[in-house]
Chains A and B, each alone.
Chain A
Amino acid sequence: MEQTKADTHDWTAVLVRIRDDRDETAFVELFRHFAPRLKAFLMRSGGDPALAEECAQEVMATVWQKSAQFDPARASVATWIFTIARNRRIDALRKQKRPEPEDLPWGPEAEPDQEDQLGLQQDTETLTEAMAALPSKQRDLIEKAYFGDLTHNEIADLTGLPLGTIKSRIRLALQRLRHAMDRK
Chain B
Amino acid sequence: MTTITHHLTDDLILGYSAGTLPEAVNLIIATHISLCDECRAAIEAQDAVGGAVLDTIGEMPVSDAFLDGALSMIRGGDFAPSPRPIKIAQDAVAPAPLRDYIGGTLDDVKWRPIGMGVKQAILPTSREATARLLFIPAGTAMPDHGHRGLELTLVLQGAFQDDEGCFRRGDIEIADEDLHHTPVADISEDCICLAVTDAPLRLKGLARLAQPFLRI
**Chain A residues with a Cβ under 8 A of chain B:** 1-7, 22, 24, 27-28, 31-32, 34-41, 43-44, 49, 52-53, 56-58, 60-62, 64-69, 74-76, 78-83, 85-87, 89-90, 94, 96-107, 123-124, 127-128, 131-132, 142-143, 145-146, 148, 150-152, 155-156, 158, 160-161, 163, 166-168, 170-171, 174-175, 178, 184
Contact = CB atoms under 8 A, between A and B. Distances in A.
Chain A contact surface mostly? helix
B165 interface: no
Interface in B11-44: 11, 14-15, 17-21, 23, 26-27, 29-31, 33-34, 37-38, 40-42, 44
A78 B55 contact: yes
Interface of B: 1, 10-11, 14-15, 17-21, 23, 26-27, 29-31, 33-34, 37-38, 40-42, 44-63, 66-67, 69-71, 73-74, 79-88, 95-97, 100-101, 125-126
Given A105-B88, A171-B38, A36 B52 contact: no
Contacts of B34: 101-102
Given A99-B100, A170-B45, 16 more contacts: A1-B60, A28-B67, A31-B67, A35-B66, A35-B67, A37-B55, A78-B51, A86-B50, A99-B23, A101-B34, A101-B96, A103-B96, A123-B48, A163-B46, A174-B40, A184-B87
A150 B19 CA distance: 10
Nearest to A2: B58
Given A3-B57, A41-B54, A174-B41, A131 B49 contact: yes
Given A79-B51, A163-B45, A163-B49, A128 B19 contact: no
A79 B45 CA distance: 9
A96 B60 contact: no
29 contacts: A4-B59, A28-B67, A28-B71, A35-B66, A36-B61, A36-B62, A37-B58, A44-B57, A56-B66, A64-B79, A66-B81, A68-B82, A69-B84, A75-B44, A75-B51, A76-B48, A79-B44, A81-B54, A99-B100, A101-B95, A102-B96, A104-B85, A105-B87, A105-B88, A127-B52, A146-B49, A155-B18, A158-B11, A167-B44
B27 A99 contact: yes
B36 to A, nearest CB: 9
B52 A124 contact: yes
A68 B84 CA distance: 5
B18 A82 contact: no
A35 B59 CA distance: 8
A5 B20 CA distance: 26
Contacts of B96: 101-103
Nearest to A45: B19
B154 to A, nearest CB: 13
Contacts of A105: 84-88
A99 B22 CA distance: 11
A6 B57 CA distance: 9
A53 B45 contact: no
A86 B66 CA distance: 20
A26 to B, nearest CB: 12
